[in-house]
Structure 1
């Protein structure tokens, strides 16, 4: 029987390994550094606004986050932020870039289980060097048939990836923690989107789940993905 799903994409950050919690920890440290200039909630709003503005300039990832923190620090102090605070912001970003990778539960098992029967891809966005570092440390690199580190995850990007590495989006499935980046754009080009929620999700990745969409599924974790794929192929 011809396999209905030939290609499976996995998101990386907060799908295969922890990521967002390091941003939260750094943001807490940022609030402590600027406690004399802005309260925590106001500072968080200003930082999020800076991140939103800067996505088009810096893209996704830690380096853009660091620059947005520095910009926010300058703004909330009316250009009077001490150089020592700027130095500490840079140091916290460097710590993030060096933080060891910790796989999420069931991540390795799910990729291994599906790699024997399907073409599996890692599809992630962010800083190229940092994503390559995390992949190397994860120990999962050899399991993937293809690695795509992209500047953003849009319907045309997914269509191109699944054409290049598979048999088109219609025979592809994507699993990830971001409704906005991992699910909706894949469904938009005819693929199957599987949402695997994570306890922490960046505010700019929030989106509403599709309603009455037969190609949308949700799982509490990756342990159920091989069974879901099998069920879809038998249906």
Structure 2
């Protein structure tokens, strides 16, 4: 009886310690989560505070102006951010239009057993490695390597499809220079590994029961992927995008 009561006491003691450890871990996690939120708020407040002199000087109308002339108005300058805002939105949309189908398709092939493990493992490693490369490296690579390679294609598209704003070249700029088309290509290459890696992790983390249950009721492989797996991993895929 003494030995049994001692075992029960030790069991209760271990349970209490585990409960205390869990509570402490949850508390630390909450502190870090709130810390991230506080840091983001401080960053936003700092940017807003630093922008007050510019807003007082030029007003919010600079967001909708198209002129950027630092020497206008007796040296005070005339600044307009509208072309940069529109260019960023359009190039980002085009990059997503290119990268999302490719990234999601690659993630499906890497996570759903379409390829043997001897090929899947090194490809997954390469995708994770590419996702860790800083964006500035992709930008420099795009300027010095990709743009010269795209010059013939950009010239062809500019000559025959220049009436489409995506392929049109700025005035006075020859092919191989800045433009919406090369910008979208560079951005799509930059975000493709990130979308692929996160989408693959989201699909791979799904329980096997989903696949087995879907195929057990007669669904095809692609039917299972499209109607079961992608909706189940939708939040993770959207997070990657």
Same fold (TM over 0.5): no
TM-score by length of 2: 0.23
Greater helix share, 1 or 2? 2
TM-score by length of 1: 0.24
Greater relative contact order (CA < 8 Å, ≥ 6 in sequence): 1
Structure with higher Rg: it is: 2
